Amino acid sequence: MSLSTAPDLSPAQRTEIELLARGKQARSRALRDLGLTETPETAHALLLRAGLWDESRTPYADRLGAATQPVTLSVPDFTDEPRLDLTHLDAYAIDDEGNRDPDDAVGIEVLGGGLTRLWVHVADVAALVPADSDLDLEARARGATLYLPDQTIGMLPDELVEKTGLGLHATTPALSISLDLDEDGNADAVDVQLTTVRVTRLTYTQAQAALDAAQEPFVTLARLARASRDLRVQEGALSIDLPEVRVKAGPDGALVTPLPKPEMRAVVQECMTLAGWGAAIYADDHAIPLPFATQDPPQREVRGTGLSAEWARRRTLSRTRFQPAPGPHAGMGLDLYTQATSPMRRYLDLVVHQQLRAHLAGRDPLGGKDVAARVAQAGLNADGTRQAERLSRRHHTLRFIAAQPDRVWDAVVVDRRGPQATLLIPDLAFDLPSSTPAPLNTTLQVRLLDVNLSTLGVRASLV
């Protein structure tokens, strides 16, 4: 049978085919009887053809074993404990518009003598999610929050976000990382403390407007971030500048929009990098095992400019590894580093906070073997989550493409392998193969044809 026609399916056949499409079983007698291959892609195509699934349906999270149901466990309240009161200092949680889980904020404190204290406040999630609690075990099983174009499935309950999110209440408990920085971005001291903070939420657009108007603390934050970035570049940090987009979707369609890159986005990112570096230094100084992030140096140096050079540089990066002992992170240009600013969204960040909290409370943190075991389990689960996100974004990007079949797109040649080239469409942050003799960095005009959602395929036709 050809997929160009849709058979009448019994309820039992439909259920069987849907299970195969979702990766929940490996065989389908119904597909066999129809003379079709027993693959999730074939099942998906048939369900679309029969009108049993619409184009908004994405099966990738199911296939990869990522959790698709929200966490419904109860969340405790904060208990009284000693905290440093920082409510006299301004702090800002700066995120994309519509962000629903504000878990970090930045601020400064002028110390004098050429030093400025950078404060990075992080939601004190570990205060409510101690190691081996039911919430911890659930978060570990998920590995990370699942961000899909049409929905977000949290690693932890929405109730926890409401209780711990920075800027959602007049004051908020936090775990705060401080770095005393000189004019050149060198750290004179680092510290980690439990605090109470007062946070104002801003979008990147609002923060950028404040920077453009030369308002503090944004001017100082930008100065510190530039100095820090320069130091890391001198130590070999790589800067990859490739297009990024936001993909949103619903039953009626999908929308892909290029992601603006105001300077404040880079400033906040640099502050988060400094916080990870500071937390790693603090942990190393106090012999606290953490999931330290490490990365080997690139195997080759890429010279040149343009999108093809950026594409090649990204391909030289090795995978980040997590281990309970510190080591250099070549891509960051840092001698040690950990991810510490997203404990409500990434499980290993939560482990960092649990370990730091144990130390601050005078308790023994987990040993290196226990941390390594958490790294292994959470990493495996988070990998499925990230792959499901990537495939779902591609699916909805293809929906966006299919809705405008006559549109002509600019595409840049970013890689060549003999006669085969890789084209990158900047407006979509979307790459695909093409047979063209055009040299690297050439901009071509293409139409995108023959969108196939079940195989996530599309064909580029040169205009």
Lookup result for tokens 């961000």 = 147
DSSP secondary structure of 354-378: HHHHHHHTTPPPPPHHHHHHHHHHH
Q: What is the model's pLDDT at position 8?
A: 82
- Cα–Cα distance between 7 and 3 in angstroms, integer? 9
Going by C-alpha positions, the residue among 190, 191, 273 that lies closest to residue 225 is 273
pLDDT at site 379:
87
pLDDT value of position 98 = 79
Give me the helices (H) in 124-262, please. Answer: 134-142, 158-164, 204-212, 218-234
Tell me the two tokens of residue 273: 């990098």
How far apart are alpha carbons 4 and 135 in whole angstroms?
Answer: 48
Question: Which DSSP letter does residue 346 get?
Answer: B
User: pLDDT per residue over 383-427, tens digit each?
Assistant: 999 999 999 999 999 999 999 999 999 999 999 998 899 999 999
Looking at residue 1, what is its pLDDT? 47
- 257: enclosing H helix or E strand: strand 253-258
- Is the predicted pLDDT of residue 6 greater than 70, yes or no? no
pLDDT, residue 299, reads 82
Rounded to 5°, the CA angle 384-17-60 comes to 20
- Answer yes or no: CATH 3.40.190.10 is held by domain 11-53: no
Angle value at C-alpha 164, between 159 and 167, nearest 5 degrees: 115
For residue 378, what are its two tokens? 């959470």
Give per-residue pLDDT as tens, 89-139: 999 999 998 788 899 999 999 998 999 999 999 999 999 999 999 999 999
d(CA 453, CA 21): 12
Radius of gyration of the chain (CA): 24
Domain parsing of the chain, residue ranges: 11-53, 84-388, 404-462
Distances (CA, A) of 241 to 89, 293, 339, 429: 34, 22, 21, 12
Whether residue 3 is predicted with pLDDT greater than 60 in this model: the reply is: no
Give 166-206 pLDDT, tens digit per residue.
999 999 999 999 999 999 999 999 999 999 999 999 999 99
Q: How confident is residue 5, by pLDDT bands cut at 50, 70 and 90? A: low
253-291 pLDDT, tens per residue? Answer: 999 999 999 999 999 999 999 999 999 999 999 999 999
The one-character DSSP state at 334 is B
pLDDT band at 308 (very low <50, low <70, confident <90, very high): very high
With cut-offs at 50, 70 and 90, classify the pLDDT of residue 439.
Answer: very high
Pick the closest to residue 408 from 353, 371, 355, 463 (CA basis).
463
Which CATH number describes the domain made up of 404-462?
Answer: 2.40.50.140
φ, ψ (nearest 5 deg) of residue 321? -110, 150
For the chain, what percent of residues have pLDDT higher than 70? 99
